[in-house]
Amino acid sequence: MARNGTSLARRLWLLTTQAIAVAAGLLIAWRAFGPAPAAPVRPDVVALREAPAEASALRGPDARLEAGFRGAARKAAASVVNVYTRTAPPRRLPEWLRPYGEPDGAAAQGQTSLGSGVIVAEQGYILTNNHVVEGADEIAVMLPGDKVAEARIVGTDPETDLAVLRVDARGLQPITFADPDSVQVGDIVLAVGDPFGVGQTVTQGIVSATGRNRLGINTFENFIQTDAAINPGNSGGALVDTAGHLVGINTAIYSRSGGSQGIGFAIPVSLARQVMEQIIATGRVNRGWLGVSARDVVQESTGVAAGAALVTVQSGGPADKAGLRAGDTVVAINGREVADTAALVREAAALTPGTRARFDVLRAGAGVVVDVEIGLRPVTRRR
C-alpha cells in the first residue's frame, strides 16, 4: 500500500512538473511568435533618428579605428532586414490556351524574389527598393533575431525606385540618418544586406563618386557610386558611414556577369528621405510638372552645358498656359541654375503642384521672366 501511495505521489509530481514545463514553453513561444499589438494605421508623428553634422563619417587618419568597423557594422545590422516576396502563379489555362513554348507546369508555379530593407521608424516603417516588391502578392520580412513578420506596402515611387513597407512588430531598432552634406568622394562606407539569400552580409569600400545620373535606371537619378561589393539581394539595403549612419539605399550594380564588379549605386539619403516622408504622410509622391520636352544647350566655345532648350510644349499644359514657347532656353528656376535637361526635370519635379515659380528664360537672345503655375506630374510606371 505504501509503495502504491509513493508511486501515485511520484506520478502526480511528474505530471505537475511536465504541465508547468509545457505551460512555460507555450508562454515563451507566444511571446516570441505571437501577434504583436496592432500599430495605429497612420501615426501622428514619425520620429527619424538624425546624426548631427559633426557625427558624420570619419576622414583622414582617425578613420582607422582600433577595432575596424565592427561598431558601425553592428549598429547598422540591427536596422537592416531581409525582404522576401512571392508572386502568386497565374490561373492555370487549358492545354490549348497555354502560351506557345511554355513548359509543362510553368503556369502553376509562382515566382519568389529576395532583397533587403532598412528600418526607419519604431512604428514599423521599412524603406526598400520598389523593384524588390513590385508586383508581389505576399511580402515577408526577416527581422533581426530571425523573427518573421508579414509586411504590407504603404506606398511606392517607381520613378526613384523606392518603396515603404510596414510591419506590426515591437522592439525595432530604427537606423540613424546621416547628414546628407557629409558624404564625400573617398569616404569609407559599408554595404549591409542579404546578397543571394545567404544571410546578412557586410562589405566595405569607399564613395567612388556622387551625383551620378543619366544611367537609364530611374527617372530621377542622383546616385552615390561605391566600390563596396553589392550583389543581387543587396537591393534595398543600407549604405552606411563609419559611424553606422545611413547615407544611401543600395539599388543597382554595373555588371556584365551578374555579380559585383566594383561599381554599385545607392540612392542618397537626401532623396530617399524626401520620398519616404511623402509616402508615409500621403501614400504617394506628388511632383511638379511642366508639360515640355527639352534638349541640352552646350556652349560651343567651352563645351559646357548652359541651359535646357524647350523642344515641344504640350498644348494646355502648365508651361503652355504660362506662355513658355518651343525654342525658349530655361536657365534658372526660382534662382536655381538649370544647366541641362536633367536639372530642368529635377528642379521642376521638386516644386509643389499648384504653386507659382519664376522661370528665367532666354528667348531670341533676350532674357525673359515667366511665372508658371506648376502642375501635378502624372504617375509614370516603371519600365
Look at residues 106, 156, 155 and name the one whose alpha carbon lies nearest to residue 131.
156
pLDDT at 380: 64
What residues contact 342, with CB distance under 8 A and at least 6 apart?
A: 213, 214, 221
Confidence of residue 317 (pLDDT cuts 50, 70, 90): very high
pLDDT at 260: 67
Q: Are 113 and 98 in contact (CB under 8 A)?
A: no
Q: Is the pLDDT of residue 37 over 60?
A: no
**Please, what's the b/e burial string for 306-319 (b: 16 or more CB within 10 A of its CB; e: otherwise)?**
bbbbbeebeeebbb
Report the top-level CATH class of 176-282.
Answer: mainly beta
pLDDT tens-digit map of 157-191:
999 999 999 999 999 999 999 998 899 999 999 99
Using the structure block, give the residue that is written with the C-alpha cell 557586410: 202
Which positions are catalytic?
131, 161, 235
The more confidently predicted of residues 120 and 104 is 120
pLDDT at 107: 46
pLDDT tens-digit map of 269-283:
999 999 999 999 999
pLDDT, averaged across the chain: 82
Specify the pTM: 0.73
The more confidently predicted of residues 338 and 46 is 338
Report the top-level CATH class of 288-376.
Answer: mainly beta
Q: Is the pLDDT of residue 38 over 50?
A: no
Q: Is the pLDDT of residue 258 over 90?
A: no
Q: Is the pLDDT of residue 14 over 70?
A: no
pLDDT at 253: 84
- In terms of average pLDDT, the best of 10-14, 102-106, 335-339 is 335-339
The more confidently predicted of residues 159 and 90 is 159
Rounded Cα–Cα distance for residues 337 and 294 (Å):
16
Q: Is the pLDDT of residue 235 over 70?
A: yes
**312 - beta bridge partners?**
293
Average pLDDT over residues 194-218: 89
**Please, what's the b/e burial string for 21-31 (b: 16 or more CB within 10 A of its CB; e: otherwise)?**
eeeeeeeeeee
Locate the domains of the chain by residue range. 176-282, 288-376
